[in-house]
Structure 1
Amino acid sequence: MKSEQETAGSEVDRAEEKSEPAAASRSEWAALWGLLLGAFMGFIDIFIVNVASPSIQDEMNASFADIQLVPAGYTLAYGAGLVTGGRLGDRFGRRRVFAVGTLAFGLTSAACAAAQSPGVLVGARVLQGLAAAVMLPQILALVQVVFRRPGERARAIGIYGAVIGSGVVAGQILGGLLIRWDVAGLGWRAVFLVNLPLCGVVLAGTGAVVREPGKRTPTRLDLGGVLLLAPGLFGLLRPVVVGGDRGWTAPLAVELSAAVLLLILFIVWELRVTRSGGVPLLPPRLFRQRGFSLGPPTALFFYGVNGAFVFLLAFYLQRAAGLSPLAASLEFVPMAVLTSIASMLCGRLEARFGRQVVPMGGILMAAGLLAVWAVLETVADPGGQALPLVPGLLVYGFGGGIVATSLIGRALAGVAPEDAGAASGGILTAVQASEALGVAGIGALFGALTETGGYVHGLRVCVIVLTGLSLATSGLLHFPVPRPSTGR
């Protein structure tokens, strides 16, 4: 028989198991902002180079093909490495891997700023993208394991979603400002050097206060999965990016077909690793969870729409409306402000009005796009459209803030702590691929339409297409998802 002490101890253990997880401490909430600064850096660097590209081309006497690879090199390496980066955190510890990724991001940013030729710059951008792929998945994974109360976790992930949702716009605004200010005569190099002090702040802040609760069980990295998934994703994204810019060719079609084959083999391999009792790179069990399985298609519509709309409107404002790069980027400021406000209000709105608030965000996006279409339809002079476009951008930004705040949290709902890194890398890969597909696909449609009907006609038609995709986003957001796992 058990002693009274043993019995009492067992009852305490059971009571602790049933009790609510501990609330996050002040230091952990403070650490969140350091982590979010790291996320902000990684996402704005996708777009901050867009405004600087003409200056880079002029100084380096680079061809247009060379200059296209400056943003594309980062995008491709980043998208291809995210799942592997997430699993590295599961294997070696998320805080440690996050610190290594942040340090590497700072060093490769300095290498980009020091580049003296297009080839060196593109190579440094590829390495910078790989560093971001190591750094960024750890943020969501740490949020999953540190914030164990569902309400706190939802709030933290919501803030994260707002950060990446506004990163598309913020990157272009910051790039325009840095080029305009020409800090210390650095010109375009400032868009890379700005990362150095930010990396220092991130490393100092998170190193001091971020903790990783629970015991980590070391496992072997699924190298077979890495060797299939990384080139598969690279081969999938590269034709989309390059084909959208330069036109589709037979070699690109072959590369895309080979990538699809590699991804099919990756699925077969992961199922085999799971059956043998190993730890797969991307566990198939994740796709049996409704939240995660709905994440990629929802991200495809939402981030595809957002990436394409921002890209096309920025291009239109400069080419058709005659705005400078800085003026065009400042057109997005009101939209970015409303996105941030919506992200902060989303939780309160859901608490008061229920789950329909999130699908309503997609409907607001569609309404904002229709308002933009009405301006394009009624204001004949593109040069006079900048101010009338603002109301539609405000509505679009508010709806987009609600969706961005909720989408990632919904995708990660129910994910176990041991799969946090893999799941985070998986959903971020979907985000990155969706933006690339949106820009390439809708961008190709825009290019074809402008050749026959001009810029105004091209943007009108594309905005209608984006409106339909926003409504599709709203439809997917109607599906209920499980409550977040507490890790118990």
Structure 2
Amino acid sequence: MFIVSSSIFLAVIDIFIVNVALPSIQKGIHATNGELQLVIAVYLLGYSCFLITGGRLGDYYGRKKIFLAGMLLFTISSCCCGLANTGLQLNTARFFQGVSASLMTPQGISYIQVLFTDTNARLKAIGVYGIIAGSASVIGQFLGGLLPDIHFLMEGWRLIFFINLPLGIVALAAALLFLPETAANKTQRFDYGGVALLTPALFSLIYPVIQGRELGWPAWSIFLLLLSVALLLLFRRDQQRKLARNAAPLMDTRLFHFRDFKIGLYATIFYFLVQEPYFFVTGIFFQNGLAMHSSTAGIYFVFQGIGYVIASVISVKLIPVYGKKVLQSGILIMIISLLLHILFLTSPQTPPVSIALILFAYGLGCGSVLPSLLAWSLKNIPHHFAGAASGTYYTVQQSAIALGAGITGGVFFYAAGNSPVLPDYVHAYRIAISLSIFLLLLTSICLYIMPDKTR
């Protein structure tokens, strides 16, 4: 369980460790705001574009082989990130870091789907998986604030990437020695055509959302958005045709016959349009708006992470008893906390204890939703759909996070304007948080209509 969870630990820590360190990275490589958004978004772009591919490769070649390949490439690309000197170099390495994460992460959840065939046992196992991911967010936020202040032979922000080297080596060694291999299924051809359609479709959707605002929405950005719609429709038609003739499509569209899985994907989209962008804009607001030191911001985010871990542990036990009510309660706590963000966190005079408590409350809400949302969406998926289901779920999740970084981040920077001062940051932050509240309300609607029974 710990070996397969190492993939999600590293994948998540490299999202959250970057959030708090972004201002230090911006100064170190003289990046623009658009390049700063890309530090997060291109990682998620590479991650989301190849997650379904990663899941299917595990089914086709064996999960252990793909897990090891992904972990090795992740470690190497992390070192490349730490050696970068320009925004282009860093974001190129971040993209391949995301691609390698997409190879190793689906194998973890697929192993759980295969090894835990009992529904309740699977819910608990996925809950543990979510707790480990939450722990990564706590550690990442703390280290993201701490490491930029450490200058030993190099700029401190580079350490946030080099720290993956020893972690990756340990994970590789443990997986090589102890992780069991699963049977490879090569009875049908791998769907390379599906990859060739889905990858540019997701790229054409996410990239212009991130870059279009800063460049004034040039014609190519509008063209790419329209192209993404056409490619996604073509991909759907292609997958349905291949399924009809038993040709092993990249995305098994039979998954969408499971109503709870389908509604869970909608809830996932709305929720993750909020989850990661919250840390992005709050980290920028704390440091650039309130002139908060990076280590101080990192410590505040640790309180959010502590709340997340506590709620995750509790929610794993409550979900089998109370079902989706746990998730609905978590969304309500998040909304109340975000209202408190608008009322109190936008003032430099807010006491540190109040800031910590508000972020702790937000973490309690996140911890009640995030691990259980995954478990609830996959609870009725048969184990032979494991690779396809996990790849599809995480593709939707990471695409939503990447889009959220572009949408919410774009709204924040647009509202702040050029050369912003504190009142501009406050105005922009309130707008961004209000958008997050609206998206959480949409999430709550999806949870309301989601089936509450385990079949």
CA distance in 2, matches of 1:107, 1:461: 39
Asked whether the 8 Å contact 2:79–2:165 carries over to 1, the reply is: yes
**Matched residue, 1:474:** 444
**Could you tell which deviates more after superposition, 346-355 or 134-143?**
346-355
Aligned with 1:384: secondary structure? coil
Structure 2 counterpart of 1:457:
427
Match of 1:109 in 2: 78
Whole-Å separation in 2 of the counterparts to 1:309 and 1:450: 16
2-structure distance, mates of 1:295, 1:78: 20
State the distance in 2 between where 1:390 and 1:56 align. 25
Letter in structure 1 aligned against 2:376: R
- Aligned-residue offset at 1:467: 2.4
Q: Alpha-carbon deviations, 1:42-89, whole Å to 9, x = none? A: 122234334445555555566665555444432221221111111101
What is the aligned partner in structure 2 of residue 133 from structure 1?
A: 102
Q: 2:114 aligns with which of 145, 148, 155?
A: 145
Q: 1:394 aligns with which of 343, 356, 360?
A: 360
1:156 matched to which residue of 2? 125
> What runs of 5+ residues in structure 1 fail to find an aligned partner?
1-31
Shift of 1:387: 3.4
- Post-superposition CA distance 1:66-117 (Å, at most 9, x none): 5554444322212211111111011111121111111111122223333455
8 Å CA contact 1:244–1:443 kept in 2: the answer is no
Equivalent residue letter for 2:451: P
Q: Of the two structures, which has the highest relative contact order with CA contacts closer than 8 Å and spacing of 6 or more?
A: 2
Answer whether contact 1:290 1:482 (CA < 8 A) is retained. Answer: no
Task: Classify 1:88/1:449 alpha carbon distance in 2 versus 1 (closer, same or farther; 3 Å).
Answer: same
Q: Are 1:315 and 2:280 counterparts?
A: no
**Aligned equivalent of 1:15:** none
Whole-Å separation in 2 of the counterparts to 1:219 and 1:183: 52
Partner of 1:201: 170
Amino acid corresponding to residue 357 of structure 2 in structure 1: P
Alignment partners' CA distance in 2, 1:374 and 1:67? 27
- Give the corresponding residue for 1:483: 454
Q: Which residue does 1:447 correspond to in 2?
A: 413
The SS at the match of 2:411 is: helix
Indicate if the aligned counterparts of 1:168 and 1:307 stay in contact, CA closer than 8 A: no
**Which is worse superposed, 472-481 or 96-105?**
472-481
| 1:382 and 2:348 are equivalent in the alignment | yes
Q: Find the counterpart in structure 2 of residue 40 from structure 1.
A: 9
- The equivalent residue for 2:318 is 349
Is the alpha carbon distance of 1:117 and 1:457 closer, same or farther for their aligned partners in structure 2, counting shifts above 3 Å? closer
Counterpart CA distance in 2 for 1:120 and 1:456 is 32
Aligned to 2:235: 266
- Alignment of 1:219 with 2:185, yes or no, is no
Q: CA deviation at 1:430?
A: 1.3
Measured against aligned partners, the alpha-carbon deviations of 1:435-457 in whole angstroms (never above 9, x if no partner) come to 12223222333334434962223
Aligned 8 A contact 2:45 2:206 in 1: yes
Q: Please provide the CA RMSD for this pair.
A: 2.6
Q: What does residue range 210-249 of structure 1 map to in structure 2 within 5 Å?
A: 210-212=179-181, 216=185, 218-249=187-218
Structure 1 residue 369: Cα displacement: 1.6
One-letter amino acid matched to 2:237: V
Rg larger for: 1
Please report how far the alpha carbon of residue 34 of structure 1 lies from its aligned counterpart in structure 2 after TM superposition.
2.1
- Secondary structure of 1:332's counterpart equals helix
Task: Give the aligned partner of residue 250 of structure 2.
Answer: 281
Q: Secondary structure, in 3 states, of the residue corresponding to 1:220?
A: coil
C-alpha deviation, 1:250, in angstroms: 2.0
Instruction: State the match for 1:362 in structure 2.
Output: 331
Instruction: Choose the corresponding residue for 2:396, options 430, 447, 452.
Output: 430
Match of 1:11 in 2: none
- Could you tell me the TM-score, scaled by structure 2's length? 0.90
User: Quick one: which amino acid aligns to residue 400 of structure 1?
Assistant: C
Q: Distance in 2 between matches of 1:245 and 1:141?
A: 39
> Structure 1 457/58 Cα, relative in aligned 2: closer, same or farther at 3 Å?
closer
1:204-253 per-position Cα deviation (integer Å, ceiling 9, x unaligned): 22333332566745431111111100111111111122235554322111
Give the aligned residue type for 2:397: V
Unaligned ranges ≥5, structure 2: none
Pairwise CA distance, 1:118: 4.6
SS at match of 2:189: coil
In structure 1, C-alpha distance between the alignment counterparts of 2:452 and 2:64, rounded to whole Å: 29
Aligned residues: 450
Q: Aligned equivalents of 2:219 and 2:351: distance in 1?
A: 40
Give the alignment of 1:62-73 within 5 angstroms: 69-73=38-42
Q: Deviations over 1:122-157 (max 9, x none)?
A: 332222221111111111111110122222211111
> Residue deviations 1:445-477, cap 9 Å, x none?
333443496222332343333223223323322
**What are the superposed Cα offsets for residues 10-65 of structure 1, whole Å, 9 maximum, x if unpaired?**
xxxxxxxxxxxxxxxxxxxxxx1122222111122234334445555555566665
Conservation of the 8 A alpha-carbon contact between 1:140 and 1:157: yes
Moved more, 295-304 or 138-147: 295-304
Identity level (%): 36
User: What amino acid is the match of 1:418?
Assistant: H
| TM-aligned CA deviation for residue 391 of structure 1 | 2.5
Question: Structure 1 residues 420, 398: CA separation in 2 closer, same or farther (over 3 Å shift)?
Answer: same
Aligned residue among 146, 154, 178 for 2:147: 178
Structure 1 pair 89–367 and aligned structure 2 pair: CA distance change class (3 A): same
Of stretches 320-329 and 61-70 in structure 1, the one that deviates more from structure 2 is: 61-70
Q: In the aligned structure 2, how far is the partner of 1:291 from the partner of 1:220?
A: 30
Distance in structure 2 (CA, Å) of the matches to 1:401 and 1:196: 28
**Residue 382 of structure 1: SS of its match in structure 2?**
coil
